[in-house]
Structure 1
Amino acid sequence: MNVQVKAVYHNSYLNIISALFKKWGLPPLIDHLVPAHPQCQTRASDAVQAILYNMFDGRQALVHLERWAQEIDLEKLIRSGLHPSWLNDDALARHLDRLYEDGIHNVISTCLIHLYRKEDLPLRVFHADATDKTVYGAYESASLAALQITHGCNRHQHWQKQIGFGLVGNEDGIPFYGDVHDGSLPDKTWNS
């Protein structure tokens, strides 16, 4: 008997995450919210899953994600017929741009509401909190609509630049909404 092994993949816990992602119906939901361009070989859900699985598996830079994708069983984890070469940094960047243009907050919130309903999670009590992250270096925004890294009410040093993060969670601490905002936005303003 001659057995030939086509490939051996190290997927480990990514199989569980992928199964949950599919059980919850997130790929078709994401693709409904951010429809694929007819000429695209990949879908927004492919990019989202690849980036998330990559983060869970040690987080490679986007430029190296295509190489990482060759080491996992994409057809099992994401979808049949998906090739690692299709997850190059240009394709991922285009999908990230489209997610942003189609309203990333809407996509995330819709997915979270979908998950809350699917898992019958309580929607009674919520807690909102904001924090900041100190950043270093010179940052120039191409647009006033972009995230503004500013001097703000930094808890450490007022001269340091920062960006803000906000998160809303339910009574069990399960996230419901989150965002990144300008460094000068006070917590009270974000919470209202």
Structure 2
Amino acid sequence: MEATTVPKNYESEVLDHLGLVAGMYDEFQIGDRIDGHIAQDFEEREVSVGQAVKAMVINGLGFVQQALYLTPQFFKARPTERLVGEGIRPEHLNDDTLGRALDSLYDYGVTELFRDLAAHGAAQVGLAPRFAHLDATSFLAHGEYDSEREGGDGVIQVRKGYSRDRRPDLNQVVLNLMVEHTAGLPMLMEPLSGNASDQSSFPELIDRHIDQLQNAYGFDYVVADSSLYSASHVEDLDNSGVKFITRVPLTISEAEEVVQETDPAALEPLTEGYEAREYISEYGGVEQRWLVVHSEAAEARAKESAANRRDREHKEEKREFRELLAREFSCREDAKKALSAFEEDLTASTLAESRVLRAICFTMDEERAPVETGEESYLLQGKLVPSEARWAELVKRKSFFILATNELDEERLSGRDLLKGTRDKARWSGASGL
């Protein structure tokens, strides 16, 4: 007698790219490390914090812009046990479970946790970064917020602040981000209120995490923009043993003087499109190397913008000159003094020609004939032209930039490597202008 074959019931579930996401999550041991950091009773839980985070990561990459409470709906048509963990069903991933997991992450410290996960991930793929690049970005927020109310400790505020997206009318939040230079892997992230300042938040971030980051990653230098560079910050970084690379603001008088006194003919080739010379500075009481760099690309961009700025300044000076020409002076000396004072204040213009004219005053007699009154006044006459020297000054200022480092050993950090580390930062942050 032949055995009867019982038909099997088959179900189809959607995997798509989410298998790769879950696989990489497990490969980097993210869930295991989260569960290792956050205390929890695994016998009383159906879903661990690490598994809840994994579900939210998968959800975020497959169910974009949907509310958290819809997560079970997302997993109904997907192999939940295979993606998240054995015994996990879609209904387990409700908003209570995920919300409590988020509370646990907040209590532990998301910045500290991410720092550990990123360091472990970098080690897994064999990254040994030499430079750590620090920058900030912002995320716009539409809608109404009670931005004036003060939040508690650790609570960020959605507020107006410096807008990198050129939307100062909108509220925002800020994210400080540190990445390694080889692959741009994020090493450290810290969310901040929308009105947070780079000048204050960068040094605080470095001060709190630099020891752990140096030990975990083994990088040599922190690379940041000019927001990190001030007399007090430079001294604090050097005292804490941090080797920095940063751009020097040309608003610092010493930096402006160095650029103005630099002779382009005395520069040495650094790399294609760049020439430079080194200068030792003790700004902020810290001995450091300044690399004064001339960029051919920056000079090409600067020529048009410098001409536009010079022309705007010249237009304003021409308006003031017309007002001066309309004035009457009682004597020739007063007219000369006024002209001399005006010429000394010129920035974008040159006085091409000038002279003092004597004007005789007349009145009308009874027969309406002109009669000299015996009084006289003096008028100025002249012509202003745009200043070529001002244009050259603006081009030079925009063609040069200064990089500073407290690494005094040129064998450990050459001028070429100093520039390379900064250009890598511009690559990962999307900045330009070098």
The two structures have a TM-score, normalised by structure 1, of 0.90
- The list of structure 1 runs, each at least 4 consecutive aligned residues, that deviate by more than 6 angstroms after superposition, is none
Q: Are 1:131 and 1:165, in contact at CA under 8 Å, matched by a contact in 2? A: yes
In structure 2, distance between residues paired with 1:122 and 1:80: 35
**Corresponding residue number in structure 1 for 2:48:** 43
**Corresponding residue number in structure 1 for 2:195:** 184
1:50 Cα offset (Å): 0.6
Select the residue among 141, 151, 175 that pairs with 1:143: 151
Q: Are 2:158 and 2:194, in contact at CA under 8 Å, matched by a contact in 1? A: yes
Alignment of 1:27-176 (within 5 A): 27-37=31-41, 38-59=43-64, 60-140=66-146, 143-145=151-153, 146-155=155-164, 156-171=166-181, 172-176=183-187
Q: Which has the larger Rg?
A: 2
- For residues 104-139 of structure 1, the C-alpha deviation after alignment (integer angstroms, 9 at most, x for no partner) is 112111111111111111232111111222323332
Q: Are 2:47 and 2:88, in contact at CA under 8 Å, matched by a contact in 1? A: yes
SS at match of 2:145: coil
Select between 47-56 and 159-168 the one with higher mean Cα deviation: 159-168
1:188 Cα offset (Å): 2.7
Tell which has more relative contact order, 1 or 2 (C-alpha 8 A, sep 6+): 1
1:11 Cα offset (Å): 0.8
Q: Are 1:130 and 1:190, in contact at CA under 8 Å, matched by a contact in 2? A: no
Select between 182-191 and 114-123 the one with higher mean Cα deviation: 182-191
- For residues 19-75 of structure 1, the C-alpha deviation after alignment (integer angstroms, 9 at most, x for no partner) is 221122222111111233453221111111111111111323211001111211111
SS at match of 2:175: strand
Query: Counterpart of 2:98 in structure 1: which amino acid?
Result: L
Select between 134-143 and 23-32 the one with higher mean Cα deviation: 134-143
Query: Counterpart of 2:124 in structure 1: which amino acid?
Result: K
SS at match of 2:85: coil
Gaps of 5+ in 2: 204-434
1:142 Cα offset (Å): 7.7
The two structures have a TM-score, normalised by structure 2, of 0.42
> Given the superposition, is the C-alpha separation of residues 135 and 20 from structure 1 closer, same or farther in structure 2, using an over 3 Å criterion?
closer
> Given the superposition, is the C-alpha separation of residues 112 and 3 from structure 1 closer, same or farther in structure 2, using an over 3 Å criterion?
farther
SS at match of 1:150: coil
Query: Per residue, is there more strand in 1 or in 2?
Result: 2
Gaps of 5+ in 1: none
In structure 2, distance between residues paired with 1:15 and 1:23: 12
Select between 150-159 and 58-67 the one with higher mean Cα deviation: 150-159
Q: Are 2:151 and 2:157, in contact at CA under 8 Å, matched by a contact in 1? A: no
Structure 2 residue 22 is matched with structure 1 residue 14: no
Q: Are 2:63 and 2:74, in contact at CA under 8 Å, matched by a contact in 1? A: no
In structure 2, distance between residues paired with 1:36 and 1:8: 35
In structure 1, distance between residues paired with 2:133 and 2:90: 40
1:6 Cα offset (Å): 4.2
1:13 Cα offset (Å): 1.6
In structure 2, distance between residues paired with 1:136 and 1:12: 32
**Corresponding residue number in structure 1 for 2:30:** 26
Q: Are 2:122 and 2:185, in contact at CA under 8 Å, matched by a contact in 1? A: no
SS at match of 2:44: coil
Number of equivalenced pairs: 192
SS at match of 1:20: helix
1:169 Cα offset (Å): 0.9
In structure 1, distance between residues paired with 2:140 and 2:21: 32
Q: Are 1:35 and 1:44, in contact at CA under 8 Å, matched by a contact in 2? A: no
Identity of aligned residues (%): 22
SS at match of 2:176: strand
